[in-house]
Amino acid sequence: MSLFGYYKYFYNEIYNKIYNEIYNEIYNEIYKINCNKNKFVSSFNKQTNKMIYEIDKNDNRLLIIRFKNKAIMNTALSKISERYEGLYGHVEGHNFPASYIEKSDVINDFVKKNKIEYVIGIYNPNSFQHEKLHAKYYLDQKYKKKIDDEWNMLEPEKRDKIVAFLKRLGYCDKVLIDEYQAYRYTEKDNFFGLTL
């Protein structure tokens, strides 16, 4: 085997090991989410006529807001998402650190009172897995390190294509790895238009 062949073999072995560890961890998390996606998984639940606030029972730093419809969700959260991700408009779900919430935002008082660190907002249970992975990436440092290692192990050409794809969707640089992992582990294998 040539030196290049050995390098490629070693690279693939390490990448596959990291991928399998992350996939197994994610699969277990997604299975738990799927079991609960149509049930309330909160330790605290405050219902208004437009949305339901839930504090995650497994991590009280996470606020899950379930909305009756997409329009109400985007009206309440789009400005915060724009501050954080650079996205604006009618998205399918929202996620952001609580530090991006301003006094004028409708969720500010609840977030401050309950010492929330991360917020996800959904109206469709099908987007829950994707949004929950954003919270996991932000709140779980071991998981974040595994994802960052996986990202750094990607071949530069593939990473460049993924970055270009995510930027076409409107994401800013600071959330690219986070978006990569959320799409990677909730969408079809060829979501980015290439084989990973």
Question: Does a structural domain hold residue 172?
Answer: yes
Distance CA 192, CA 30 (A): 20
Number of separate domains in the chain: 1
Helix (H, G, I), strand (E, B) or coil at 37: coil
Q: Determine, yes or no, domain membership for 196.
A: no
Domain that holds residue 178: 3-184
φ/ψ (deg, to 5) at 152 = -70, -20
Q: Where does residue 188 fall: left (phi above 0), alpha (psi -120 to 50 degrees), or beta otherwise?
A: beta
Tell me whether residue 192 is in a domain.
no
Backbone angles phi, psi at 97, to 5 degrees: -65, 145
Q: What is the pLDDT of residue 18?
A: 61
Asked whether the beta carbons of 163 and 157 are under 8 A apart, the reply is no
Report yes or no on 48 lying in a domain: yes
**Looking at residue 1, what is its pLDDT?**
53
Q: What is the reported pLDDT for 48?
A: 62
Is residue 194 assigned to a domain? no
CB 185 within 8 A of CB 137: no
Nearest to 121 by CA among 79, 86, 163: 79
Task: Tell whether 189 is covered by a domain.
Answer: no
How far is Cα 137 from Cα 182, in angstroms, rounded to an integer?
9
Mean pLDDT by 10 residues, the chain (196 residues): 51 58 51 42 55 86 91 91 79 94 93 95 91 96 96 95 93 94 91 82
Dump pLDDT digits (tens) for 121-147: 999 888 999 999 999 999 999 999 999
Alpha helix segments (H runs only) across 37-127? 70-85, 108-113
On whether residue 30 sits in a domain, the answer given is: yes
Place of tokens 């379930």: 66
Q: Residue 29: its pLDDT value, please? A: 46
Residue at 169 is within a domain? yes
Q: How far apart are CA 60 and CA 101, in angstroms?
A: 18
Contact 117, 98 (CB under 8 A): yes
In this prediction, residue 180 carries a pLDDT of 96
